[in-house]
Amino acid sequence: MIKLVRVDHRLLHGQVAFSWTQSLGVDCILIANDDVPQNDIRKTTIKLAKPAGVKLVIKTIEDSISALQSGVTDKYKLFIVVESVADAYKLAKACPEINHINLGGMKVREGTRNISKAINITPDEEQLVKELVNEGVDVEIRQVPNDKKVAALDAF
């Protein structure tokens, strides 16, 4: 069961690893990213942030979609972390059971505007979020579980 998909440019780090996994009661974290599986430095860093007692799986976006669609992940309470809105969009389009996306950390990049403390979004990303919301996906902004939940569209 997918508990949450989170967009965070840092992927797995202390804040995500501990506050979110405990709050969601997850037993598996899936890092869905096209760079990390072949980037040993990033992979090692992510493994260091893994909380004890939680399984960590690192797959490309396509391999993540395949795993989700195959049912092999159904036995887990799954927390999926992606690096970008585009990656979250790909997952949500391919896997209709994804109905909740958290925007947690999106760094300043060329062409972005700041819409929240830690969220900087491009016009293209904003369009993807709007499309997901129109299709019934709950897209929210929150850094940690105790923060007030803000609907992404309310921040635009």
| Residues that are catalytic | 13
For the four alpha carbons of 60, 101, 3 and 43, in that order, the dihedral sign comes to positive
3-state secondary structure of 40: helix
- With beta carbons less than 8 A apart as the criterion, state whether 4 and 100 touch: yes
Which tokens belong to 87? 């990656």
Cα–Cα distance for residue pair 37/82, rounded to 1 Å:
13
- With beta carbons less than 8 A apart as the criterion, state whether 52 and 17 touch: no
Element (H, E) at 125: helix 123-134
Cα–Cα distance for residue pair 145/127, rounded to 1 Å:
25
Cα–Cα distance for residue pair 98/2, rounded to 1 Å:
7
